[in-house]
Structure 1
Amino acid sequence: MLRSNIRPDRLTLPYVLKSVAGLVDCELGRVIHGVIAKTGIEFDSFVRVSLVDMYVKVESLGCALQVFDESPERNKLGSILLWNVLMNGCCKVGGLRKAKELFDAMPVRNVGSWNSLINGFMRDGEVDRARELFDCMPEKNVVSWTTMVTGYSQNGHHEKALSMFSQILEVGVKPNDLTVVSALSACAKVGALEAGVHIHKYLSSNGFRLNKAIGTALVDMYAKCGDVESASQVFGMTKEKDLRTWSVMIWGWAIHGCFQQAFEYFDKMKSKGFKPDGVVFLAILTACSHSGQVDKGLSFFDSMRLDYSIEPTTKHYALIVDLLGRAGRLDEALSFIKSMPLDPDIVIWGALFCACRAHKNTEIAEFASQRLLQLEPKHPGGYVFLSNIYAGVGRWEDVERVRTSMKNRGAEKDPGWSYIEVDSQVHRFVAGDRAHKRTAEIHQKLEEITRSARKQGYTPETEWVLHNIEEEEKEDALGSHSEKLALAFALISTSPKTTIRIVKNLRVCGDCHSMMKYVSRMNEREIILRDIKRFHHFKDGICSCGDYW
């Protein structure tokens, strides 16, 4: 256009600036800014906003502020877009204090101004300040509500995200696709199947289209809430599938231990013309690991590099270590780690650790522990894993030595918690919890099912307790695990024959796994437990994992 001697005007240059922002090319942006200055339209309000927006998106906040400060119209009532663009940019690059200063100094604000700052607080993890601002808004739109739902979910406040979504429906605001996807994500995180089904019904009765985003979110929700069959049904009904939709479904089959279905969908995906990426291979390797398909997993790992030119990440290597370790091939797993082209991280050493615990291999566990603690001296995983290993073989002096070292270095173990949804209400339990309003009934029920299970042959697996304490005290410690508390609460709060669904943030211990099997048979209940690794479906005294976990 320039070579043709056609002069760009105020309508041309904003689109040029938008392209510069898309390329994230700051130097090119300065050149275009020079062209704008020479054409004499630098102070056009439309161009001015585009300049600020461009500098914000190429992360040159200083230049954006300079253009803003030099704008003669910034204190006029019609300049609200200019203020909002700069404030939004400050929030995105972490300049929250400056964004707040701009917000306070604005000559006039609209709903977009409030939404930008709320989003900024949520991005920075300042959830309470975001809520205070939201409550003070003189006017709210669907973006305001969506920002709150999304922000709560991304900051781990999943119950609040679902509560906010319910309020949206109560006040009569129609959610948009992003609102729905964020709410479904919150359901998936805490295993809130009832809430997820309610959202699905709302979508069906209010004319929402099952597009890629919503279809994928529903598949993910059903799979992570323990209903993989419904996930499969939604997947079949979703006409607009992309690679993420396929990967979410394959992940669903994998974490439920349905390796044959995972392999089948992997082949179907390829037959539909989709080329697998690294995420899909993570899913298919997970399926192999949970089902003991060692040779198949190694074959997939080779295919990933040779057939698709995908370089494995540390996550892929960790899954191969996990695959070999679960199968008891610990020496092979260690050799694999030593031959890796990448430096092994704490996830890889952690995978080897878990295998050592299962197979009681103290020698390799100690070696892996040294490597893990060299990488992160304050990471609690190394200490906890090694304590577990020593406790499992009765080396109590070593247990205390490791725990003392852990305390001295300021490493703190993550507390175990479990979620359970009853009557559309999510309840959270932590290990040793006595804060629940029905705690007396819960502990009474727990004692009752433990006595009944003993009569059926259950023996508490006290080697899962890390302290050298009396056997009776060990059994009390096992009884306070969060998943057992959630189980007892479900038994006193739900009707007979109702499926019990529990979500746990850590790996389920062997004793709790054993107890779940006995309770599923004694109470004729199906119990679906999701831990950090996979799903366990307990029915008639048997777990779907086949005790291979």
Structure 2
Amino acid sequence: MHSGKLPCTLSVFPAKPLAAVTAIPQFPENSRALILEQCKTTKDINQIHAHLLKTRLVLNPAVAENLLESTAILLPSSMDYALSIFGEMEEPDSSAYNIIIRGLTYKQSPHEAVLMFRKMLESSVEPNEFTFPSILKACSRLRALREGEQVHAHFVKCGFGSNGYVENTLIHMYANCGRVEVARRVFDAMLTRDVVAWNSMFAGYTKGECWGEVSKLFCRMRESGVCFDEVTMISVLTACGRLADLELGEWISEHIEANGLQKNLPLMTSLVDMYAKCGEVDTARRLFDQMGQRDVVAWSAMISGYSQANRCREALDLFHEMQQRAIVEPNEVTMVSVLDACAVLGAFNTGKWAHSYIKKKKMKLTVNLGTALIDFYAKCGSVDSSIEVFTNMDTKNVYTWTALIQSLASNGQGKRALDFFYMMRGKNIEPNDVTFIAALAACSHAGLVDEGRSLFFSMTKDFGIEPRIEHYGCMVDILGRMGLIEEAYQFIKNMPIQPNAVVWRTLLASCRVHKNVEIGEASFRHITILEPAHSGDYILLSNIYAVIGRREDALRVRSQMRQQRIKKAPGCSLIEIDGVVHEFLTEDDGHLDFKEIYSTIEDMMKQIKSAGYEPNPADARLDAEEDYQEASVSHHSEKLAIAFGLIRTPPGTTIRISKNLRVCTDCHNATKIISRVYNREIIVRDRNRFHHFKDGSCSCNDYW
């Protein structure tokens, strides 16, 4: 039996042609049916090949090409066999070359397909209309634009410039090589366009994320009276989701329902994804629940929809349901959405489990997946784990580096963040505007004023990046943190763009730390001009007065809050215990274990008072009676979460908490002492930054 490559001593073709060919009666005249339809394994083809060698039928080009097609295209892992047969053919024609080029292209050897095409031209074998689609697909997969352009020129020269099938693959090739505008010129020049041509152009725009062009092209398609199909609608629904074009998305939804297409799984999945990305998450879930069958793409679309809508608990609930009920396994998209949800909730244990699952399934640590892991660990305060993931990634882009720099900066490791920034520059990776926000934040946390100024001016001078309002805000924070309040104030007044309330609020927070009443009052006035001041602004101003002993002014500001019915947003803290995220509100009594929690709070307050803690009544609820103010501050949401963590975790375990508001002064002071008294590291992520409490001190150096 023949197997693999033919030995070099065996010649399939004799030196001289035979006068007659001996026929075997059992061998059918139509060899195509036998070779292409009945040969299911390499063993089958070996037996047929042996007959063809013995009977010399292999000399018949049609028979040999059937053999080639079976080994090059139909049977798996038999490309080498096909190449050995092809190599023994004395003068293979264009059909034989086409089969080999097509086989190499479809069996993930596009480079060899291009080389075979060159050999075809060098052998003076003229390509035909069946040659060009395969070789263009090979160029597309390689993103070989130069070679693709040469093939384009060649088929125009050969007179195939108006062949619709060739033009469709040409559109795909240009789009895949990043030249979507050239693809559009090819499309516009086509004499006739069927739905395949339109879909090729839609696919090109989708590949280039030109969502607006997808929408406009679909409108033109409808105006042209061309009937669209499911493939068209999937591309357009994807664009609707990215553009938040709910009106067009709903029009397609009505078309799907009117034409009874609800059983088309990819189409319904795209519809679910569109509704979720347009903010209609409940509609997306209703459609998802109605689907008779769901693949991993459908589950991922719905989980991603919840995550992007900041309904992260529902995202994790659905993920757990997927694990329990579905027979499909999560893919990269699923895991990225799960990690994003864990990052928002601070669900450290669930995210760690997700990371273990990724390792167990040997999922490739792509840029998207690796960056999601870095961000997750960063938002749970586990910086060393972020760095470990970063180090293990084979491929990194500017977003990966930015995520790590931001991770270090927000966790109070400014100098380390800048080390990675300069390491990135050393690898010739260009920072973007978000990278500079992270680097400037690092300067702020590290107290590096001169470094911050240098980076700020370098943005425009060296990289052509015009500073946005966020960059100006970072500079105000850098100057304010170091007590340069007057310089920060002048910096804002000299800004070439209108400062927003966030910039003035940043300066107001600096005035609280450095007890600058005059500029603090000016900052507050600017905030109230730009937008209605919220409770945090009043509390910051009140605290400025309080820390310098102007108690009457502090009380006056709080009285203004009451008169204007401005309520302090309720504090909310999250803590994950054994994979379950528990939520606490200020003065919460809705938790199942609230009696045990409040008992622990009482004991905890006694112990930290003995260690030097003094309650700050200024942080009590505004409407709290004077004799209840101390109890009010002891029942803030993060204190309840910390108490629950002390109850439910072993001694010495790190307690991780996520909070919706800025940590108040009282809770910050209390948590420092709790970390020392109970010998616990406590990581609190508030609205602005991370606080790593350990041994009675905080990573923010009491500036937040």
How does the TM-score come out when normalised to structure 2? 0.70
Which gives a bigger RCO, structure 1 or 2 (Cα 8 Å, sep 6+)? 1
Q: Report if aligned partners of 2:171, 2:186 keep a CA contact under 8 Å in 1.
A: yes
Q: Report if aligned partners of 2:641, 2:657 keep a CA contact under 8 Å in 1.
A: yes
From 77, 80, 84, give the equivalent of 2:230: 80
Q: Matches of residues 32-51 of structure 1 in structure 2 within 5 Å?
A: 35-36=189-190, 39=191, 41-42=192-193, 44-50=194-200
Q: Does 1:104 align with 2:285?
A: no
Q: Which stretch shifts more, 535-544 or 500-509?
A: 535-544
Q: Does 1:290 align with 2:449?
A: no
Q: Does 1:446 align with 2:596?
A: no
Residues 1:509 and 1:291: Cα distance change in structure 2 (over 3 Å): farther
Q: Does 1:538 align with 2:693?
A: yes
Structure 1 regions of 5+ residues with no counterpart?
none
In structure 1, what is the equivalent of residue 635 of structure 2?
A: 480
Separation of aligned partners in 1, 2:569 and 2:601: 24
In structure 2, what is the equivalent of residue 94 of structure 1?
A: 246
Separation of aligned partners in 2, 1:468 and 1:131: 41
Amino acid at match of 1:268: M
Q: Matches of residues 330-341 of structure 1 in structure 2 within 5 Å?
A: 330-341=485-496
Q: Does 1:401 align with 2:572?
A: no
Separation of aligned partners in 1, 2:236 and 2:393: 39
Q: CA deviation at 1:380?
A: 5.8
Q: CA deviation at 1:465?
A: 3.6
Separation of aligned partners in 1, 2:614 and 2:480: 27
Separation of aligned partners in 1, 2:171 and 2:230: 20
Amino acid at match of 1:106: N
Amino acid at match of 2:450: D
Q: Report if aligned partners of 2:212, 2:239 keep a CA contact under 8 Å in 1.
A: no
Separation of aligned partners in 2, 1:484 and 1:547: 18
Q: Report if aligned partners of 1:24, 1:57 keep a CA contact under 8 Å in 2.
A: no
Q: CA deviation at 1:80?
A: 3.1
In structure 1, what is the equivalent of residue 133 of structure 2?
A: none
Q: CA deviation at 1:99?
A: 3.1
Amino acid at match of 2:259: M
Amino acid at match of 1:188: A
Q: Does 1:190 align with 2:345?
A: yes
Q: Does 1:463 align with 2:618?
A: yes
In structure 1, what is the equivalent of residue 164 of structure 2?
A: 10
Q: CA deviation at 1:537?
A: 1.6
In structure 2, what is the equivalent of residue 131 of structure 1?
A: 285
Q: Matches of residues 220-369 of structure 1 in structure 2 within 5 Å?
A: 220-369=375-524
Separation of aligned partners in 2, 1:150 and 1:124: 12
Q: Report if aligned partners of 2:279, 2:309 keep a CA contact under 8 Å in 1.
A: yes
Q: Which stretch shifts more, 322-331 or 7-16?
A: 7-16
Separation of aligned partners in 2, 1:131 and 1:416: 30
Amino acid at match of 1:47: A
In structure 2, what is the equivalent of residue 152 of structure 1?
A: 306
Amino acid at match of 1:81: V
Q: Report if aligned partners of 1:502, 1:528 keep a CA contact under 8 Å in 2.
A: yes
Residues 1:104 and 1:414: Cα distance change in structure 2 (over 3 Å): farther
Residues 1:51 and 1:536: Cα distance change in structure 2 (over 3 Å): closer
Structure 2 regions of 5+ residues with no counterpart?
1-151
- Give me the CA root mean square deviation: 3.0
Separation of aligned partners in 2, 1:501 and 1:122: 30
Separation of aligned partners in 1, 2:234 and 2:462: 48
Separation of aligned partners in 1, 2:414 and 2:700: 11
Separation of aligned partners in 2, 1:365 and 1:337: 13
In structure 1, what is the equivalent of residue 50 of structure 2?
A: none
What SS does structure 2 have at the residue aligned with 1:11? Answer: helix
Separation of aligned partners in 1, 2:188 and 2:462: 48
In structure 1, what is the equivalent of residue 114 of structure 2?
A: none
In structure 2, what is the equivalent of residue 161 of structure 1?
A: 315
Amino acid at match of 2:291: M
Residues 1:133 and 1:513: Cα distance change in structure 2 (over 3 Å): same
Q: Describe the superposition over 1:216-252 as per-residue Cα deviations: whole angstroms up to 9, x where unpaired.
A: 2212211211111111112111121211111111111
Q: Describe the superposition over 1:295-339 as per-residue Cα deviations: whole angstroms up to 9, x where unpaired.
A: 332232233333333322111110111111122221111011111
Q: CA deviation at 1:23?
A: 7.8
Q: CA deviation at 1:382?
A: 4.4
Amino acid at match of 1:404: Q
Residues 1:52 and 1:307: Cα distance change in structure 2 (over 3 Å): closer
Residues 1:62 and 1:233: Cα distance change in structure 2 (over 3 Å): closer
What SS does structure 2 have at the residue aligned with 1:151? Answer: helix
Separation of aligned partners in 1, 2:599 and 2:469: 46
Q: Does 1:217 align with 2:376?
A: no
Separation of aligned partners in 2, 1:173 and 1:224: 29
Q: Does 1:120 align with 2:274?
A: yes
What SS does structure 2 have at the residue aligned with 1:307? Answer: helix
Amino acid at match of 2:478: L
Q: CA deviation at 1:281?
A: 1.8
Number of equivalent positions: 535
Q: CA deviation at 1:277?
A: 2.4
Separation of aligned partners in 2, 1:238 and 1:496: 34
Separation of aligned partners in 2, 1:15 and 1:354: 59
* Sequence identity (%): 38
Q: Does 1:515 align with 2:667?
A: no
Q: Does 1:173 align with 2:323?
A: no
